[in-house]
Each structure stands twice: as C-alpha cells, then as structure tokens.
Amino acid sequence: MTASFKILLMIILGIESSCDETAAAVMEDDKRLLANVINSQIDLHCIYGGVVPELASRKHLEDIYPVVEQALQQADITLDQVDGLAITQGPGLIGSLLVGLSFAKALSLVKKIPYVGVDHMAGHLVSVFLGENKPEFPYIALIASGGHSSIFHVTDYFHYRLLGRTRDDAAGEAFDKVAKILDLPYPGGPIISELSKNGDPEAISFPRSWLDPDSLDFSFSGIKTSVANYVKQNQQLIANGNEKRRSTTETANICASFQEAVVDVLAGKTMKAARNLNVKTVVLAGGVAANPRLREVFRQQGDREGFAVYMPPQKFCTDNAAMIALAGYHLFRQQAAVTTLDMDVYSRSRLTELA
C-alpha cells in the first residue's frame, strides 16, 4: 500500500516599506520566489540629496496598493491563496513603516490572513538564502546598509548574537555622505562604486578606523570628514587659480580610495570575527553588499583564510520584500510569532543591542 502525503505549501506575501522602497513579494515556502516587485522612490528624494521622511510615507501610501496588486499578478495568485502576511515592523522611518503595517493589518482583518512582523535586519540576515548557494549554520554575517553596519554570529534562522556595530555612521551612510561632498547624486553607493572602477584605490591614503585591537565595532564618521577636508583643500586650489575644478580622474581617485578604506575595514573585521569564534562560514548582506569591490575582497580574503563565503545576488542586497517574506515564512513555521492587531512599529532594530 502506498501512503499518500499532502504536502502543505505556504504562500507568504511579504511587504517592505521601511525607507524609500515600496516592495511586495510572494514566496512559496522558503523555496520558490513567485513575485518580487520593488518600487524605488529614488527619483523623488534625489533632488534633496537624501530621503525626506514625510515625502516617503506619502509616496508609500500611493504605491502600496498597486505594488501588492502587481506582486499578486506576477505570482498569478489571488489574496485568497495567501496563507500568511509578513510585514516589516522596524527599524526604519516610522511614518513609512506605519503605511505598510496598517495596510497589512487591514488585509489581515478583511481577508482573515494571519500576519507576522519582521525585523528588517532579520530580513537582511536571511536574504542570503534567496541565492542559489545557501550557507549552513553557524555563520558570521556582516550586514552593511544605509542604517547599520553590524557583525552577527548566526546559529539558526532566529538566533543571532551581535558582535559589533557602528559607533557612528553606517557604511552606506558614509557612501551617501561622501557622494554629497563630491556633488554626486543620492544614493551614493552605486555611483561611487561605478566611478571607482576608473580610479586608483591607492591615490589618496584615507584613514582606516580599526578602533581598539579587540573591537569588532566600526566607525565611519572619521573617513567622511577626511574626504571633506581633502575636497576642501582641493577647492582652495580652485580659489587660488591653480586649478579650474576637480578633474574626472581626481573624482574617480577619491571614490576609489574612499571605497578601498571602507572595504578594508568591513572585510577585515568580519574575517577577524570568524577567526575569533572559529566559524568557517562568512556571509555578506545589506545594501552595501551590492558593492562589487566589497564582494571581491570578501571572496579573496575568505579564500585566503579557508572560509566559505556567501552573499545574496545584488538585487537581494538592497531593500526588497523577498527577504521579508522569507524571514516571515520561518516565523510562521515556528508558530510562535503570529501577531495580534495591537502590534506597533519601531524605529530601532531589536537585533542590534549587544547581548
């Protein structure tokens, strides 16, 4: 006699609205991404050189319905087929988070779909599983984004210990601020990494902030000031009539030298954490993980030290709802986390307090 098993697949609709992307994704279990829609607000904010919170929340309000509808269409399903909603609860811009959470609560109430709140950082931590090559636990993960630069020891989907974090600016924030200093558009990361390709990373010796020898914390405000001072001195030359304006080569050299200094510290401290804890797997994620030079240096240093290095494809490094759906799926499977309607948003990550 053959036993017949009904395999219950879970369809999760993930929604992300913590900053300047309105995103929705549909996942079938943790295996198949059926839809991934991201509506970026960059065009709206770039004229201000950064995200304007009030404008961001208003734009989320306009976009959230069509973005979710598009994701359902892409997945070729209706809301009736959705088993669970996963919504970014925090950290992020409160007004923006509230739009996503209120939308999810309304869907949950009307369609009787359970929902879970997902920490945005937990989303970045599991985003590596959206790639073809998936790591095994435990691993050391660097999450480098616009709001955080944190090193975690990750032992399973929901057990992580913070080993180090930034004491001031996050790595992505440093890229964004340096871009502003150089009159480059927001967000700074993509344009700086592009211009760096034609620059000399050794042209200018910007400081590496290693802090005290045992620390796994980061500090990126000093390098931002160094770039500002360097640029100011160059502008002095213009005023003296020694030079008309900064040349393209000079801009590329500043970008490449700055990028190299940030990459050195991010990779160096992450590898050190893996050595300290004798963990053989290293993961890189978060928006800054889209940086080609950082990806290259992680691979090179990992190879040299005998670590297996994993990172999500670039499209899953910057904010997306697929990582929220995936983290939500694991929360649902734990069955402990199904949330009630009084759940609120929060602005600081619950993962980033040192244990």
Q: Which residues of this protein are in contact with ligand KG4, per CB under 6 A?
A: 19, 145-147, 172-173, 175-176, 187-190, 193, 286-288, 290-291, 318-319
Alpha helices in the chain, H assignment, sequence order: 42-45, 53-75, 94-111, 120-126, 171-181, 188-196, 221-239, 248-277, 292-305, 322-334
Closest CA to 316 of 86, 126, 185: 126
Instruction: Choose, by CB under 5 A, the member of 319, 332, 339, 349 that binds Zn ion.
Output: 319
Q: Which of ligand KG4, Zn ion, none does 189 bind, CB closer than 5 to 8 A by kind?
A: ligand KG4
User: Which residues, in sequence order, are bridge partners of residue 141?
Assistant: 152, 283
- Considering the complex, state which of residue 272 and residue 295 has its C-beta at the smaller distance from ligand KG4: 295
Cα distance between residue 246 and residue 226, in whole Å = 17
Select from ligand KG4, Zn ion, none the partner in contact with residue 135, using the beta carbon and a kind-dependent cut-off of 5 to 8 Å: none
Could you tell which of Zn ion, ligand KG4, none binds residue 318, using a CB distance below 5 to 8 A set by kind?
A: ligand KG4
Closest distance of CB 227 from ligand KG4, Å: 14
What CA–CA distance (Å, rounded) separates 253 from 250? 5
Nearer residue to ligand KG4 within complex by CB, 82 or 290: 290
Question: Would you tell me how many other CB atoms lie within 10 Å of the CB of residue 149?
Answer: 30
CA angle (216 as vertex; 159, 126 as ends), nearest 5: 30
- Please say which residue, 16 or 250, places its beta carbon nearer to ligand KG4: 16
Give the nearest distance from C-beta 121 to Zn ion in angstroms: 8
Q: Which is nearer to ligand KG4, 145 or 150 (CB)?
A: 145
Asked if 22 touches Zn ion (CB under 5 A), the answer is no
Query: Least Å distance between CB 291 and ligand KG4?
Result: 3
Query: Is residue 57 classed as helix, strand or coil in its secondary structure?
Result: helix
Task: Report what 41 binds from ligand KG4, Zn ion, none; CB cut-off 5-8 Å by kind.
Answer: none
Site string for Zn ion, 132-161 (x = CB under 5 A): -------------x----------------
292-305 helix and 188-196 helix, angle to the nearest 10 degrees: 70
Looking at the Cβ atoms of 82 and 142, the one nearer to ligand KG4 is: 142
Query: 82 vs 179, which CB is nearer to ligand KG4?
Result: 179
Quick count: other Cβ atoms within 10 Å of Cβ 78?
10
Side chain identity at residue 255, one-letter code: C
Contact 326, 34 (CB under 8 A): no
Residues forming the site for Zn ion (CB under 5 A): 145, 319
